[in-house]
Structure 1
Amino acid sequence: MKHFLPLFCLAFSLHAGAADTSPAPSVDGGATSQKVEQFTLDNGLQVLVLPDRRAPTAVHMLWLRTGAMDEVDGRSGLAHMLEHMLFKGSKALPPGEFSRRVAALGGQENAFTSRDYTGYYQQVPAHRLPEVMQLEAERFAHNQWPDEEFVKELEVVKEERRMRTEDNPRAMLMEQLYATMFSAHPYRRPIVGWMSDLQAMRPDDARSFYRDWYAPNNAAVVVAGDVDAQQVKTWAQQYYGPMAARALPERKPRTEPQQLGIKRISVKQPAEQAYVALAWKVPALRRVTDMTADDKDALALLVLSAVLDGYDGARLERHLVQTRLADSAGSGADVLGRGPGAFLLIGTPAKGQTPAALEAGLRAEIERIARDGVDAAELQRVKTQWQAGQVYARDSIMGQAQNAGSNWVLGLPVQADDLLLEQVQSVTAADVQSVARRFFGEDGLTVATLIPQPRAGAHGAAAGVPSPVSHEVK
């Protein structure tokens, strides 16, 4: 679907692709809650099971509540690098053996790293689930590899940075935007790491990060598919239970200081078109029941983003793209994370238009809502589309597992999607207008503008098109 993805994807979706044309279910009908069985092993490991008997397949995911935000200056990129190294062996698995065995089971596997978490997943025939659980538990508990494997993989990660970021003008702009927007919080550092930090990275840096954060009391196993919950619990106890809990490093508060004025940067890169990104610091959503004022504001900001860019023909498309001020425009409320929230507006100026004109046009859309509000039909369409996305997400057992795992990482109830869907129905036009009025002043704004430069000879990945890699950086 183009716009309405599972709720935690919706939080920051700068949209692209074909539109969804499936009929949306009625909001009055309600979404059917997905049954989740949850267990806690003696070592603190959380086990979440989502039975779904529609197909003889199972998804197994291991989530770690650690990501790029747990790194320190000078060691950026460690969480992502360690994700790569989990594929390089254990006491019982030589480098590459894990992937070979998963393939032999008829399965697929990969991994991902974000600012907030690291995850590993496999999808296998359901009767192969205990074998893949044993494999994952082995590398989780006993990850080890020779230094030469680290040196080789580090070159892979450096090339990934070159292809996905340094050869991608818009990715470079977004990297610089976050580095400028945040001064104290670790969200300012790129997930893949600064190149100088990668060049200085050593094998023992990754081993130290592994010892610090890869503990069962900092992890959750999520299983979805054609499974029996009690049987999964038995297997989890068998394979993950022997791991010992460990004390985790103290997580120091790294509060972002108040921004005292607009920040502007220009990013010069070889590109065909200019690009503009505007970002404001906004409240993050921490709770889905007994919500605080900040939580309610974060929810209203999610709805505001959907009003701007949540469906075909939404405001940014009607007022900026169809009027030929922009070739593309999008919004995102990045309010679901362990760190501070942000609200982004982005766009590509149309031919003959300047970045300054597009910036003014993007800001005018917020000002229009702050002044005139949103109408009831517009708000109802957003809510209906949101519910449709929630229903469609359950068609995928991978989507079910991803939602449950990301909810756990953020310290939310496993079924936070259902609870948030209920909360969304209570958001009023006045709530949306209120956040539009309160959070979009200049003092909290950061603006990044891509200034196209001539291309010199052959170039890497095209702007906006990520190169394929073995693992994912979210």
Structure 2
Amino acid sequence: MNISCCIFVLPFIAWLPLMASAATPPATQDFVLDNGLKVVVREDHRSPIVTAQLWIKAGSSYEPPGQSGLSHALEHMVYKGSSKACAGEFEAILESLGASQNAYTGPDFTVFYQTLASGRVGVAFEILADLMSTAELDPQDFTPELKVIQEERRMYVDDEITVLAQERLNSIAHPASGYRTPTIGWMHDLQRMNTAQLQQWYKAWYSPGNATLVVVGDVQPEQIKALARQYFGHLERGTTPAAPAPVELTSAGERSLTLHAPVASPRLIMSFNAPSLATALDRRTAHALRLLDMLLAGSNSARIKQRLQLSESIFTEVLSEYDAFNRGDSLLTISMQLNADKLNDADAALTRVWQVIESLKSKAPEPAELERAKNLLIANLVYAQDDLQRQAHNLGLLQTIGLDWRLADLDTQELNKVTPLDIQQVAQTYLTRERLSTAKILPEKSNG
């Protein structure tokens, strides 16, 4: 170990919250076109590039029963031809400019983006405006693309037991909301999906009044305003259906499922129903849940990871996740892989996890322990400022889930306000059996 390096790094990490708090937020402006398109512009002049992201407020949580996967399928199809380009033509244009482009879908959104030289941002706007308004959605293109999506589901969900288990767990963890719907769609829905459904979905949700354009990079706001009016200003506002936020039952009762698979040792997934930043009674609750996630299994010093994986070795892997940035309620999830050489009993392992959870509920963490968790989480926020796409993602996500993009600039300040008693309170409130859904992946039983 390089001792001198460690001596330098430790105090540096301790100062990160203060550094982040003191940092001046980048110059950012927003405006709304007459047709309802919200535009957020953040200046970052460190390099002559820009990323442009078009956020559509439509994802899997919007989809009605029997039509799962529509948002993701539509994301694939809008690149297959429009009024200005044939399939692959926009991609070729962007490649010739040295640009990168992609798209992704989640429960609450569909996003299309391009990153390119800042002097070419008009090209990105022209492409994004065309994709949002004149996609052809040809049945001849959809048939082979649907097969691609079905194979994607087989490869990345059906053949991956942990992903499959999480998908099944989500279906019982969200008994009252659309968050039970997998983004890629259920296979039986994909098998009966048709272009008429896609066209209806496109018409319902793809309009300026239901979108946010986020631009981050080496640009001037007035320049972006002029280009936005030029390429998006002529589009009709459109009307969109009502989409209430997915809110869960306060206490749905303890739920569980068991899957048997060809695995060497059991795997456990525990998901607790919890509010998000958008649904919590106050933002401090959501920030306390973010830090609780870090304290449980978010780092090597976190309690479950430190005690049950690194010290007692009953787990070979411990992970946790809490997504504060949903338009509806969320989950705090802990997943663990058992070490069969130490413990092969899933129920006994769950008992040990509960013991660690109860320790946080019975006594608030020490200030130094909480400070470490804050340092790690805030460090990630600081590093994100070096990535234009992550900056744009954070701004676009907040707007799309119904919050103000300005909250991104308050994140560090609000995290630093969380106290040890806040952590204890959210642990007592949300880490309960009435809010718990558990998935067990057990080794297949031998027929011999």
TM-score (norm 2): 0.92
Evaluate the alpha carbon distance shift between residue 37 and residue 201 of structure 1 in structure 2; reply closer, same or farther with a 3 A threshold. Answer: same
Stretch of structure 1 that moved more, 210-219 or 331-340? 331-340
Amino acid aligned to 1:171:
V
CA distance in 1, matches of 2:398, 2:68: 25
Residue 433 of structure 1 aligns to a residue in which SS? Answer: helix
Q: 2:266 aligns with which of 248, 271, 274?
A: 274
Do 2:246 and 2:329's aligned partners in 1 also have CA atoms closer than 8 Å?
A: no
In the alignment, structure 1 residue 423 sits paired with structure 2 residue 411: no
In the alignment, structure 1 residue 61 sits paired with structure 2 residue 67: no
Q: CA deviation at 1:28?
A: 2.6
Q: CA deviation at 1:280?
A: 1.2
- Structure 1 equivalent of residue 292 of structure 2: 304
Query: How does 1:437-456 map onto structure 2 within 5 Å?
Result: 437-453=428-444
Do 1:177 and 1:447's aligned partners in 2 also have CA atoms closer than 8 Å?
A: yes
- Structure 1 equivalent of residue 3 of structure 2: none
Do 1:283 and 1:295's aligned partners in 2 also have CA atoms closer than 8 Å?
A: no
Residue 439 of structure 2 aligns to a residue in which SS? Answer: strand
In the alignment, structure 1 residue 319 sits paired with structure 2 residue 307: yes
Q: 2:398 aligns with which of 402, 407, 422?
A: 407
Amino acid aligned to 2:161:
P
Residue 49 of structure 1 aligns to a residue in which SS? Answer: strand
Amino acid aligned to 2:33:
L
In the alignment, structure 1 residue 366 sits paired with structure 2 residue 357: yes
Amino acid aligned to 1:314:
A
Query: How does 1:40-79 map onto structure 2 within 5 Å?
Result: 40-79=32-71
CA distance in 2, matches of 1:248, 1:440: 37
Do 1:345 and 1:362's aligned partners in 2 also have CA atoms closer than 8 Å?
A: no
Q: CA RMSD in A?
A: 2.0
Stretch of structure 1 that moved more, 238-247 or 95-104? 95-104
CA distance in 2, matches of 1:75, 1:332: 28
CA distance in 2, matches of 1:391, 1:299: 17
In the alignment, structure 1 residue 112 sits paired with structure 2 residue 104: yes
CA distance in 2, matches of 1:445, 1:375: 26
- Structure 2 equivalent of residue 37 of structure 1: 29
- Structure 2 equivalent of residue 13 of structure 1: none
CA distance in 1, matches of 2:167, 2:434: 21
- Structure 2 equivalent of residue 459 of structure 1: none
CA distance in 2, matches of 1:420, 1:183: 31
Q: CA deviation at 1:34?
A: 2.0
- Structure 2 equivalent of residue 28 of structure 1: 18
Query: How does 1:125-136 map onto structure 2 within 5 Å?
Result: 125-136=117-128
Q: CA deviation at 1:214?
A: 0.3
CA distance in 1, matches of 2:216, 2:154: 36
Stretch of structure 1 that moved more, 300-309 or 154-163? 300-309
Q: CA deviation at 1:180?
A: 1.2
Stretch of structure 1 that moved more, 349-358 or 34-43? 349-358
CA distance in 1, matches of 2:411, 2:218: 27
After superposition, what is the alpha-carbon deviation per residue over 1:311-342, rounded to whole angstroms, capped at 9, x for unaligned? 33221221111111100112222332012121
Do 1:47 and 1:222's aligned partners in 2 also have CA atoms closer than 8 Å?
A: yes
CA distance in 1, matches of 2:105, 2:125: 20
Q: CA deviation at 1:377?
A: 0.6
- Structure 1 equivalent of residue 4 of structure 2: none
Do 1:164 and 1:171's aligned partners in 2 also have CA atoms closer than 8 Å?
A: yes
Q: CA deviation at 1:134?
A: 0.8
After superposition, what is the alpha-carbon deviation per residue over 1:162-217, rounded to whole angstroms, capped at 9, x for unaligned? 01100101000000000111222111111100000000000111111000000100
Residue 251 of structure 1 aligns to a residue in which SS? Answer: coil
Structure 2 residues not aligned, in runs of 5+? 1-8
Residue 223 of structure 1 aligns to a residue in which SS? Answer: strand
Q: CA deviation at 1:454?
A: 8.5
CA distance in 1, matches of 2:289, 2:93: 45
Residue 59 of structure 1 aligns to a residue in which SS? Answer: strand
Evaluate the alpha carbon distance shift between residue 359 and residue 260 of structure 1 in structure 2; reply closer, same or farther with a 3 A threshold. Answer: same
Do 1:260 and 1:443's aligned partners in 2 also have CA atoms closer than 8 Å?
A: yes
Amino acid aligned to 1:385:
L
Residue 82 of structure 2 aligns to a residue in which SS? Answer: coil
Do 1:284 and 1:294's aligned partners in 2 also have CA atoms closer than 8 Å?
A: no
Amino acid aligned to 1:96:
G
In the alignment, structure 1 residue 187 sits paired with structure 2 residue 179: yes
Stretch of structure 1 that moved more, 381-390 or 77-86? 381-390
- Structure 2 equivalent of residue 232 of structure 1: 224
Amino acid aligned to 1:391:
V
CA distance in 1, matches of 2:281, 2:205: 32
- Structure 2 equivalent of residue 379 of structure 1: 370
- Structure 2 equivalent of residue 341 of structure 1: 330
TM-score (norm 1): 0.87
Evaluate the alpha carbon distance shift between residue 382 and residue 133 of structure 1 in structure 2; reply closer, same or farther with a 3 A threshold. Answer: same
CA distance in 1, matches of 2:147, 2:130: 26
Evaluate the alpha carbon distance shift between residue 294 and residue 66 of structure 1 in structure 2; reply closer, same or farther with a 3 A threshold. Answer: same
- Structure 2 equivalent of residue 157 of structure 1: 149
CA distance in 2, matches of 1:293, 1:176: 29
Do 1:95 and 1:145's aligned partners in 2 also have CA atoms closer than 8 Å?
A: no
Residue 200 of structure 1 aligns to a residue in which SS? Answer: coil
Structure 1 residues not aligned, in runs of 5+? 1-19, 456-474
Higher RCO (CA 8 Å, separation ≥ 6 residues): 1
Q: CA deviation at 1:255?
A: 4.1
